[in-house]
Amino acid sequence: MVKYFKKWLRLSKRFPFVHVRNRTRASLIVVEDLSQTCDTPAEKFLYEQLQANLYYPTPHYWINGVRINLALVPFKLALIETSPGIDEKRIVRLLKKQRWRVVFYDAKLLLQNEHIYFEQVLQYAPTHAKNVSTSI
Poorest-confidence range of 10-14, 104-108, 125-129, 131-135? 131-135
Q: Do 56 and 31 touch, CB atoms closer than 8 A?
A: yes
Could you tell me which residue, 46 or 123, shows the higher pLDDT?
46
pLDDT at 133: 53
pLDDT at 36: 87
pLDDT at 32: 80
pLDDT at 3: 66
Q: Do 52 and 81 touch, CB atoms closer than 8 A?
A: no
The neighbouring-strand residues paired with 72 are 77
Confidence of residue 134 (pLDDT cuts 50, 70, 90): low
**Is pLDDT of 16 > 70?**
yes
pLDDT at 116: 78
Task: List, as own/partner pairs, every contact residues 97-102 make where C-beta atoms lie below 8 angstroms and the sequence separation is at least 24, other chains included.
Answer: 97/64, 98/63, 98/64, 100/63, 100/76, 101/75, 101/76, 101/77, 102/77, 102/78
Mean local confidence (pLDDT), 47-61: 89
pLDDT at 122: 79
Mean per-residue pLDDT over the chain, rounded = 82
Percentage of the residues of the chain whose pLDDT score is greater than 90? 26
Q: CB within 8 A of 121, min separation 6: which ones?
A: 50, 55, 72, 77, 79, 103
- Both ends of the chain: CA-CA distance in Å? 44
pLDDT at 27: 63
CA 136 to each of CA 130, 132, 133: distance values in angstroms, whole numbers, following the listed order: 18, 13, 9
Q: Do 103 and 79 touch, CB atoms closer than 8 A?
A: yes
